[in-house]
């Protein structure tokens, strides 16, 4: 039973009970209808209160059901709402904590609504690529007015219940105990007739057509590749221009169309992917975590400073350790400047500014950080330097402190081996700029303790990052895959592309930036440094030499005013470079390659399928726990287009057999050895399955 039924005096109370957020899945919907029958058939019952158990009134339709027939099985949410709205006895929604999506639609089908202050009220469907499909687009404008309702529906942003007091959404805001208040309200209105229905309210908005047209234009310009926001406007427009039932039908048709769209499936995948990433099969959810009340960061450079800001933003004091006073002063000054910029933009109050700046202090002494609960090393990416730091940390840090490394490529097990407490060592790979990028790759060493992983996963939530656990391997999940992508980008230049052509093809697919613009932004010297190491460590791996030739010209990117593109002073816009293009053409000639015209399809397939194949190896080796973890790494750290759901989800939408067919085709070209499909992917394709 996903709802409980009780009678208290003359009032029946139906309590939805489907943890964690009382999602309106099939069993909950059925239980509400059954409870309603009991209440309507009981002559002693004068009014019915409906509420939610635990931490929500209701988080809406059960999104997990969306891919199954259960989502639309009777009683549908429409049916449930009809039962409530047409009941012969008054039905009162008693709202608290979270009232979202289908939960709010259900409440709007009740005759009355009471709520506690602080409840989050939203129709957030648009964030899942759909629109409210159970009357929300028709009823919310009737209680909040056209403008406010449209804003809420198009943005999906929650509004606190007290901010909506005084509107027709709430009949009363309850101070104190919600159920006592709701039952008192129910007794007060038990005999009042006729029963008010939201559907009967008339929307009065002078010149609504002009407003709707303005909204369409604005929303179209802002919604990028996502169809849902504009459809939200269409559905709300129907609330004003059509009869209630006709509007409901329009909403329903648009909902059914959107729920099947790849964009919505991708957003739902990201919603669950984000939450799944915080779970590890062998680390139980009740694993105790270590308290984190103080943090230390080794290194006050750009990375160390950015990392420190995350903790200050979350209210946790951070010490930054540097070797020299000058470097420390410089690092602290940059952090202060960053906060000042945010303050000047009006995104930080004076109080928050003072608090955050005050939480970050500096030191030159290892002894001063000994009591930190976690220390994150962000020093130069060289094993010798890491060795010195970790030996020192092992010496000074208190027992139980977590020793974390921000390494992006080095072996965390080797680093752990520099200490006598490898179980306390973990990788925390932040992405630059560390105070902005959402991704945190958490690298699990062979000996990393489970409570250390549980602690860092919980901490990543606290600092508003998407924490994804990776096993130890060269480059971990993200950089190991991007290496294959970058190799293909280089080969494409040798075979006939210009940097601009490659970037444009990828950007057309929805990437924030193509590989060459990205290189110019991040600094081409970083890749050069890594490749030089690889030429020694892994001589069998082939790379195009174009990137080395570029670096030999000192063209490291925006920071040197020239990279794959030319730049004008004070202007970050990339201009195609004749010099670079000539250099690429000359290089092809030196290699004896006949340059050919390469289609956008080939460019994007080669770049994305290179990611996918490496991702399949990563899954096969158990480096990533699940395909959605890889997708989360790419969505939150590498600018993979959200509406495509991440590389593994994208491969699933193309179909793994099609991916393998394309790879076989490219295997016949230059560097064909890069195109051997991972056995795991071949197996899944043969079974007709996908990664997710
Ligand atoms: C809809 O209503 C369509 C209708 O218009 C039309 C229908 C015909 N379903 O976020 P958290 C799970 S569409 C299933 O970490 P928080 C979530 O997966 C729906 N499961 O907690 C997680 O599970 P697990 C419109 C759901 O306290 C657990 O709850 N509604 C749902 O930070 C905790 O989640 C939305 O879009 C759901 N609807 O935040 C609301 N919601 O523990 C989406 C949550 O196994 N949800 N779960 O990983 C949210 O925004 C937040 O989850 C919420 C709680 C604010 C509710």
The residue ranking higher by pLDDT, 570 or 642, is: 642
CA dihedral for 224, 228, 232, 238, sign (positive or negative): positive
What is d(CA 285, CA 298) in angstroms, rounded to the nearest whole number? 30
CA dihedral for 541, 546, 549, 554, sign (positive or negative): negative
**Could you tell me the distance, in angstroms and rounded to a whole number, from the CA of residue 59 to the centre of ligand 1?**
5
**Could you tell me the distance, in angstroms and rounded to a whole number, from the CA of residue 374 to the centre of ligand 1?**
31
Verify whether residue 263 is a known catalytic residue.
no
Q: Mind listing the pLDDT tens digit for each residue in 298-355?
A: 999 999 999 999 999 999 999 999 999 999 999 999 999 999 999 999 999 999 999 9
Q: Mind listing the pLDDT tens digit for each residue in 91-138?
A: 999 999 999 999 999 999 999 999 999 999 999 999 999 999 999 999
Place of tokens 């606290």: 462
Q: Ligand 1 atom closest to Cα of 61?
A: 2
Q: Per-residue pLDDT averaged across 379-407, rounded?
A: 96
Lowest-confidence pick of 203-207, 453-457, 552-556, 564-568: 203-207
What is d(CA 250, CA 237) in angstroms, rounded to the nearest whole number? 10
Residue 359 confidence (pLDDT) above 80: yes
Q: Which residues line ligand 1 (CB under 6 A)?
A: 20-21, 23, 56, 59-64, 77, 98, 100-102, 105, 124-125, 128, 132-134, 136, 275
What is d(CA 259, CA 268) in angstroms, rounded to the nearest whole number? 10
Lowest-confidence pick of 120-124, 161-165, 437-441, 667-671: 667-671
**Domain 295-470 grouped into CATH 2.40.50.140:** no
Q: Ligand 1 atom closest to Cα of 55?
A: 27
**Do the beta carbons of residue 551 and residue 563 sit within 8 Å?**
no
Q: Ligand 1 atom closest to Cα of 77?
A: 8
Query: Which residues lie closer than 8 Å to 330 by C-beta, 6 or more apart?
Result: 300
Probe target for ligand 1 pocket from 2, 18, 20, 107, with the most ligand atoms within 8 Å of CB: 20
Sorting pLDDT into bands at 50, 70 and 90, what band is 538? confident
Residue 409 confidence (pLDDT) above 90: no
CATH architecture for the domain at 3-259: Alpha-Beta Complex (3.90)
**Could you tell me the distance, in angstroms and rounded to a whole number, from the CA of residue 134 to the centre of ligand 1?**
16
- Of the residues 4, 34, 74, 105, only one is catalytic, namely 105
Q: Ligand 1 atom closest to Cα of 136?
A: 5
Q: Mind listing the pLDDT tens digit for each residue in 42-97?
A: 999 999 999 999 999 999 999 999 888 999 899 999 999 999 999 999 999 999 99
**Could you tell me the distance, in angstroms and rounded to a whole number, from the CA of residue 55 to the centre of ligand 1?**
12
Q: Mean pLDDT across the chain, nearest whole number? A: 96
Express as a percent the part of the chain with pLDDT over 70.
100
Please state the φ and ψ torsions of residue 220, each to the nearest 5 degrees: -60, -40
Q: What ranges do the domains of the chain cover?
A: 3-259, 295-470, 478-686
Probe target for ligand 1 pocket from 16, 18, 19, 21, with the most ligand atoms within 8 Å of CB: 21
**Do the beta carbons of residue 22 and residue 16 sit within 8 Å?**
yes
- Of the residues 34, 74, 125, 322, only one is catalytic, namely 125
**Could you tell me the distance, in angstroms and rounded to a whole number, from the CA of residue 126 to the centre of ligand 1?**
13
Runs of H (alpha helix) within 320-446? 325-344, 350-359, 383-396, 412-416
Q: Ligand 1 atom closest to Cα of 103?
A: 2
Q: Give the model's pLDDT for residue 522.
A: 86
Q: Give the model's pLDDT for residue 212.
A: 97
Q: Please tell me the residue having the least CA distance from ligand 1 atom 24.
A: 275
Q: Give the model's pLDDT for residue 1.
A: 66
Verify whether residue 105 is a known catalytic residue.
yes
**Could you tell me the distance, in angstroms and rounded to a whole number, from the CA of residue 227 to the centre of ligand 1?**
21
Query: For the structural domain made of 478-686, what CATH number should be given?
Result: 1.10.1040.50
Residue ranges of E strands in 88-163: 91-95, 98-100, 112-116, 120-122, 159-160
What is d(CA 486, CA 492) in angstroms, rounded to the nearest whole number? 10
């Amino acid at each position: 039973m996903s709802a409980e039924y009780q009678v208290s005096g003359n009032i029946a109370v139906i309590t939805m009970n489907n943890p964690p957020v009382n999602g309106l899945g099939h069993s909950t919907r059925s239980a509400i209808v059954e409870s309603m029958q009991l209440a309507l058939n009981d002559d002693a019952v004068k009014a019915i209160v409906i509420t939610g158990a635990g931490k929500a009134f209701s988080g809406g339709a059960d999104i997990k059901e969306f891919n199954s027939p259960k989502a639309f099985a009777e009683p549908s949410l429409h049916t449930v709402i009809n039962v409530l709205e047409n009941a012969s006895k008054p039905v009162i929604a008693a709202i608290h904590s979270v009232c979202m999506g289908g939960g709010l639609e259900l409440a709007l089908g009740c005759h009355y609504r009471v709520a506690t202050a602080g409840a989050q009220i939203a129709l957030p469907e648009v964030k899942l690529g759909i629109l409210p499909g159970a009357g929300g687009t028709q009823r919310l404008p009737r209680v909040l007015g056209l403008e406010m309702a449209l804003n809420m529906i198009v943005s999906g942003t929650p509004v606190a219940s007290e901010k909506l007091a005084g509107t027709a959404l709430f009949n009363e805001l309850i101070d104190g105990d919600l159920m006592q208040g709701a039952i008192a309200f129910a007794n007060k209105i038990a005999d009042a007739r006729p029963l008010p229905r939201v559907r009967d309210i008339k929307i009065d908005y002078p010149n609504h057509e002009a407003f709707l047209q303005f909204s369409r234009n604005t929303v179209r310009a802002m919604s990028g590749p996502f169809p849902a926001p504009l459809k939200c406007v269409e559905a709300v427009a129907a609330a004003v221009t059509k009869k209630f039932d006709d509007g409901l039908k329009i909403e329903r048709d648009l909902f059914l169309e959107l729920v099947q769209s790849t964009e919505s499936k991708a957003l739902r995948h990201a919603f669950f992917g984000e939450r799944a990433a915080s779970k590890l099969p062998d680390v139980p959810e009740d694993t105790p975590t270590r308290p984190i009340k103080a943090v230390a960061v080794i290194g006050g450079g750009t990375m160390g400073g950015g990392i420190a800001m995350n903790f200050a933003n979350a209210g946790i004091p951070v010490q930054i350790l540097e070797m020299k006073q000058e470097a420390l002063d410089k690092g602290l000054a940059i952090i202060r400047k960053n906060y000042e910029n945010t303050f000047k933009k009006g995104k930080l109050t004076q109080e928050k500014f003072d608090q955050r700046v005050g939480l970050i202090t500096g030191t030159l002494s290892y002894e001063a950080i000994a009591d930190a609960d976690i220390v994150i090393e962000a020093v130069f990416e060289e094993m010798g330097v890491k060795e010195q730091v970790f030996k020192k940390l092992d010496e000074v840090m208190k027992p139980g402190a977590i020793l974390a490394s921000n390494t992006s490529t080095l072996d965390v097990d080797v680093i752990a081996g520099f200490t006598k407490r490898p179980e306390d060592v973990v990788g925390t790979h932040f992405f630059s700029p560390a105070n902005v990028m959402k991704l945190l790759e958490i690298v699990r060493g062979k000996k990393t303790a489970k409570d250390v992983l549980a602690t860092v996963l919980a901490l990543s939530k606290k600092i508003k990052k998407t924490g994804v656990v990776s096993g130890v391997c060269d480059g971990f999940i993200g950089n190991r895959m991007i290496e294959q992508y970058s190799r293909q980008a280089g080969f494409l230049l040798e075979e006939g592309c210009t940097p601009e052509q490659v970037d444009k093809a990828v950007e057309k697919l929805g990437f924030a930036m193509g590989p060459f613009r990205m290189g110019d932004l991040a600094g081409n010297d970083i890749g050069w440094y890594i490749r030089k190491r690889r030429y020694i460590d892994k001589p069998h791996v082939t790379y195009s030499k174009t990137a080395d030739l570029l670096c030999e010209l000192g063209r490291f990117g925006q920071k040197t005013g020239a990279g794959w593109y030319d730049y004008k002073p004070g202007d970050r816009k990339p201009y195609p470079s004749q010099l670079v293009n000539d250099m690429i053409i000359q290089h092809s000639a030196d290699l004896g390659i006949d340059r050919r015209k390469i289609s956008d399809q080939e460019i994007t397939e080669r770049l994305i399928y290179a990611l996918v194949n490496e991702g399949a190896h990563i899954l096969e080796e158990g480096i990533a726990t699940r395909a959605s973890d890889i997708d989360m790494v790419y969505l939150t750290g590498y600018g993979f287009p959200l509406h495509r759901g991440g590389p593994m989800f994208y491969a699933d939408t193309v179909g793994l057999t099609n991916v393998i067919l394309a790879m076989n085709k490219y295997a016949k070209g230059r560097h064909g050895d890069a195109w051997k499909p991972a056995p795991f992917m071949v197996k899944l394709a043969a079974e007709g399955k996908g990664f997710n």
